[in-house]
Amino acid sequence: MSERVAVRKTYKLFIGGKFPRSESGRSYIVQDANVALSSRKDARDAVVAARAAVKGWAGATAYNRGQILYRVAEMLEGRREQFAALGVPGDEVDAAIDRWVWYAGWSDKLPQVYGGANPVAGPYFNLSAPEPTGVVAVVAPESPALLGLVSVIAPAIVTGNTVVAAASPSAPLAAVTLAEVLATSDLPGGVVNILTGRLAETVPTLASHMDVNAIDLTGVADADLAADLEVKAAENLKRVLRPAPADHDWSADPGITRMTTLLETKTVWHPKGV
């Protein structure tokens, strides 16, 4: 009897709910696998997909978004062994799942914590409420590959933004596996798009893209590159989350700044009178 020959997985990009190869036809070897090496065109395609998804996702009820994010946590829980096989420590998988659950619950609570009635001095109803800013480019930290990625994607999408994420270049397999989780969690295609490859190739395109509303530079370790990207982002005044310090504790309570930085506040006035 010969031993069974395993069927190996191809690790591809995640754009618009589909898993295409890089349009450049390139890949690179990392974690003992060929992984798609994204081009600038892939980055632009991902932005188009993310923009197309904004209307439906931002327009969904907070309850619906919360349900879908919780579904992601359920699907993640079912794949713990797969992440373990990719070398993600069990504690990190647990923390990543708990973080999805934590963010899922924020969907219908952040507006209650971050918005509210303003007692203006006049006969006016005045209410401030947060709205998503739109398309957010995020650079995931090099490590932890799963918890870091989850910690930058979830706070962006829970409020109704859509995301183009650049995965950890040295440990992208957890990101592609997360994409498979997202693809099977009722999350509409295009809400999260994941690019693998070199940051220097894709991230400047995202930072200077005029149809991206915000950029999260968390995973940019090179201070000069980060400053350059921030300059590019200034062209259309993208909202910027600056890089995380090298000793950032990913297991700590993340607070709400990651969410609020990626929100607009809309204040509505209306007169009162018979």
Partner 1 sequence: MFEYAPAPESRSVVDIKPSYGLFIDGEFVDPTDGGTFKSVNPASEEVLAEVAEGGAGDVDRAVRAARAAYEKVWGPMPGRDRAKYLFRIARIIQERSRELAVLESLDNGKPIKESRDVDVPLVAAHFFYYAGWADKLPYAGFGPDPKPLGVAAQVIPWNFPLLMLAWKIAPALAAGNTVVLKPAETTPLTALLFAEICQQADLPAGVVNIVTGAGDTGRALVEHPGVDKVAFTGSTEVGKAIARAVAGTRKKVTLELGGKAANIVFDDAPVDQAVEGIVNGIFFNQGHVCCAGSRLLIQESVADRVLESLKRRMAQLRVGDPLDKNTDIGAINSAAQLARIKELSDAGSAEGAERWSPPCELPDRGFWFAPTIFTGVTQAHRIAREEIFGPVLSVLTFRTPAEAVEKANNTPYGLSAGIWTDKGSRILWMADRLRAGVVWANTFNKFDPTSPFGGYKESGYGREGGRHGLEGYLNV
Interface with partner 1 (CB under 8 A)? 62-63, 66-67, 70, 98, 101-102, 104-109, 112-113, 123, 125, 256, 270-274
Place of tokens 């969690």: 185
* 192 versus 259: smaller Cβ distance to partner 1: 259
Is the Cβ–Cβ distance between 102 and 94 less than 8 Å? no
What whole-number distance in Å separates Cα of residue 160 and Cα of residue 103? 12
Rounded least distance, CB 273 to partner 1, Å:
5
The two tokens of residue 23 are 């349009």
* 12 versus 65: smaller Cβ distance to partner 1: 65
Is the Cβ–Cβ distance between 58 and 161 less than 8 Å? yes
What whole-number distance in Å separates Cα of residue 83 and Cα of residue 22? 23
* 57 versus 103: smaller Cβ distance to partner 1: 103
What whole-number distance in Å separates Cα of residue 83 and Cα of residue 93? 7
Rounded least distance, CB 16 to partner 1, Å:
29
Rounded least distance, CB 153 to partner 1, Å:
18
Q: Is the dihedral of CA 82, 87, 93, 99 positive or negative?
A: negative
Phi and psi, residue 260, nearest 5°? -70, -30
- The conformation of residue 22, written as its DSSP 8-state character, comes to P
What whole-number distance in Å separates Cα of residue 218 and Cα of residue 240? 10
Rounded least distance, CB 127 to partner 1, Å:
11
* 63 versus 266: smaller Cβ distance to partner 1: 63
What whole-number distance in Å separates Cα of residue 39 and Cα of residue 94? 33
Cα 205 to the center of its chain, rounded Å: 17
* 83 versus 100: smaller Cβ distance to partner 1: 100
* 109 versus 266: smaller Cβ distance to partner 1: 109
Rounded least distance, CB 106 to partner 1, Å:
7
Rounded least distance, CB 176 to partner 1, Å:
27
